Chain A
Amino acid sequence: MEANLIFDANIYSIDAIKKACYRNINRFAVNISKEEDTINCNITFKNTVTESQIKIYLDDFMKEVLDQDLRESIKKETEGVRNLILAHTFSKTGLIKDE
């Protein structure tokens, strides 16, 4: 059983798609390819998976792509402060050395 999903490469990053695929690794296998403005996901299910399960899995996958996109936004905005907090946390442990 196979399915194809196409994502707009101007909206979603390859990383977000890859992470969403990884989170669904127990449900299906994915071949990801990129053309100019699209990211194509060729999805293969096990033979034992039913049509209704496939629908649920694809819905969940698309929601997960949205979540991953949101996670990217958070990471981008908070990376600096996250590193600052971690640097403060370990500042007196002797575990962080100047390069």
Chain B
Amino acid sequence: MSKFQPIEFYKNKKNEYSLLPFRFEPLSEVNYAVTNLVGEHLIIPRETLEDFVKHKLDSSSPHYINLRAKHFLVDDKTQIAKELLSIKLKTKYRVLSEFTGLHIFVVSLRCEHSCPYCQVSRQSDDKIKFDMSTDIADKSIDLALRSPSKNIKIEFQGGEPLLNFPLIKYIVNAAKSKQKEKNLSFVIATNLALITEEILLFCKQHGILISTSLDGPKDIHNLNRPRPGGNSYEKAVEGIQMVRAHLGIDAVSALMTTTKNSLGRVKEIIDEYLKFSFTGIFLRPLSPYGFALKTKTYSAYDANKWHDFYLEGLEYIIDLNKTGVKFREYYTSTILTKIFTSQEPGYVDLMSPSGIGIGAIVYNYDGLVYASDESRMLAEMGDTSFELGNVLTNSYEDIFLNPKLLDPIEESFAFSVPMCNDCAFETYCGADPVFHHAIYKDFVGRKPESEFCNRNMKIFKYLIERMDSEPYIKRLFMSWAQSNA
């Protein structure tokens, strides 16, 4: 008896197979991307797709074998696919039952910077008016610790949160004293202009991480971020070095904001990140909220210009990797994690059901609770559509069962949104009701006209085609997916 089955064994002589649920989108005149419920993908010609759906695909063709291997069909050789899909899907949605993991505390709205695109800040010395009180902090901590999530991350934001550092100390100590079985972690999102040895000693003692802003070379950063003395860049760089000296090289991460000043200079911006030994960059689009919209900086460039900026940056990063420099683009990594793994990276904008409230929540300095950071930015512009309550007067149930949270989550769930429900990239994408409400005044928007949809659709198609074009890129992208998981 032979050790292996003969090749005939693997042939499905009658071409009898059943389709498993899948969706498709055209990539070009010839090729189509097909994806299944858990995000497995293939590229096949339109002709093959039609043959496949009409049960005319030969079981010995390479396309058939790939479609079977990736759980797009079941035949008499494979019946386990349904169970495997269930398990992978269960893993993907596991994050839903964990509920809110990220709790943002806006400890002060005051800031010594006056960035034109900044969503929320006040140049003021009025601590009473713009700083969070200990009463509000206590109530917010209680709400945060009511979350079913075992892992609770508290992120301090502003304004500039270091302007109210005594309250940060108070919250860290108070949360730790009440944490019981929860795992707590803390992050301060700061421009680092006010960082001191004393603050860093406290951070070291409590394992607090730092998230800062670095918009690129000195001229771009200082143009984006005016402050008295015009030295925001110098302060940030000095601060990054101080944090690393006290807390270690990985204790500080940086975020960049794209403005019209950044366009055409993506390589210089990436070089700046390399200069300071960061291992990746998040090429963020400018958000359409707050002063960014009011001061017209949002309309200063359109989605296509950002797309060119992003692609030029991504290709530059790929080239860097080819020369042995390990560096990633984080938005791409988040998408790749969704493409290649059953893990949900938890990036609020790319979650469906939307991550507002259930992925992250904001406790504002004045006690008001918002469904996301972007929601409080909208509120600063007078739109309180996502204001969920007040920590001083509302219960956990009032806040998390507020129709202002549940309605947008339900309405924007991509599984049931026109066009999203049959889009091949739905499993990679998100709902983002706050963005659509801000721009189109409804939680869903018309997807063919949605900047969010167009931007992401172009990226998904580009990444899938790019991987198909070069084995090296596929290996690289798979490594980015794993390290982000």
Contact = CB atoms under 8 A, between A and B. Distances in A.
Contact of A67 (B24, B54, B419): B24
B93 A25 contact: no
Contact of B90 (A24, A26, A89): A89
A81 B86 CA distance: 11
Interface string A2-28: 000000000000000001001111110
Contacts, number: 68
A71 B83 CA distance: 23
B236 to A, nearest CB: 41
A67 B26 contact: yes
B422 A71 contact: yes
Contact of A90 (B53, B83, B93): B93
Given A67-B24, A88-B86, A74 B19 contact: yes
| Contact-size category for B | 20 to 34
Contacts of A74: 19, 21-23, 53
Contact of B448 (A24, A71, A81): A24
Contacts of B50: 70
Interface string A57-83: 000000100011011011101100110
Contact of A78 (B19, B86, B90, B448): B19
Given A23-B448, A25-B446, A25-B448, A81 B93 contact: no
B89 A81 contact: no
Contacts of A19: 418-419, 422
Interface string B9-35: 000000000111111101000000000
A89 B86 contact: yes
B85 interface: yes
A84 interface: yes
A42 to B, nearest CB: 19
B21 A81 contact: yes
B5 interface: no
A60 B177 CA distance: 62
A96 interface: no
A88 B247 CA distance: 45
A78 B22 contact: yes
A52 interface: no
B37 interface: yes
B82 A81 contact: yes
A2 B20 CA distance: 40
A85 B86 contact: yes
A77 B18 CA distance: 8
Contact of B449 (A26, A68, A86): A26
B208 interface: no
A93 interface: yes
Contacts of A86: 89
Contact of B37 (A70, A82, A90): A82
Interface in B313-370: none
A71 B21 contact: no
A63 to B, nearest CB: 8
A26 B448 contact: yes
Nearest to A76: B19
Interface string B70-114: 000000000000110110011001001100000000000000000
B49 interface: yes
B376 to A, nearest CB: 29
Nearest to B91: A89
A54 B26 CA distance: 20
Contacts of A82: 21, 37
A89 B89 contact: yes
Contacts of B49: 70
B421 to A, nearest CB: 10
A22 B93 contact: no
**A23, A24, A75, A85 pick with most chain B CB within 10 angstroms:** A85
B448 A93 contact: no
A37 B22 CA distance: 31
Contacts of B20: 78, 81
Given A67-B24, A74-B19, A78-B20, A22 B418 contact: yes
Nearest to B85: A85
Nearest to A88: B86
A89 B26 contact: no
A22 B449 CA distance: 10
B458 to A, nearest CB: 14
B90 A71 contact: no
A16 to B, nearest CB: 11
B200 to A, nearest CB: 43
Given A74-B22, A81-B18, A81-B82, 10 more contacts: A25-B446, A26-B446, A70-B24, A74-B21, A78-B19, A78-B21, A86-B89, A88-B86, A90-B93, A93-B93
23 contacts: A19-B422, A22-B448, A23-B419, A23-B448, A24-B448, A26-B448, A26-B449, A68-B422, A70-B49, A70-B53, A71-B422, A73-B53, A74-B19, A75-B422, A77-B18, A81-B20, A81-B82, A82-B37, A88-B90, A89-B90, A89-B93, A90-B93, A93-B96
Interface of B: 18-24, 26, 37, 49-50, 53-54, 82-83, 85-86, 89-90, 93, 96-97, 418-419, 422, 446, 448-449
9 residue pairs, one from A and one from B, having the closest CB atoms: A88-B86, A82-B21, A26-B448, A78-B21, A89-B89, A26-B449, A89-B90, A25-B448, A77-B19
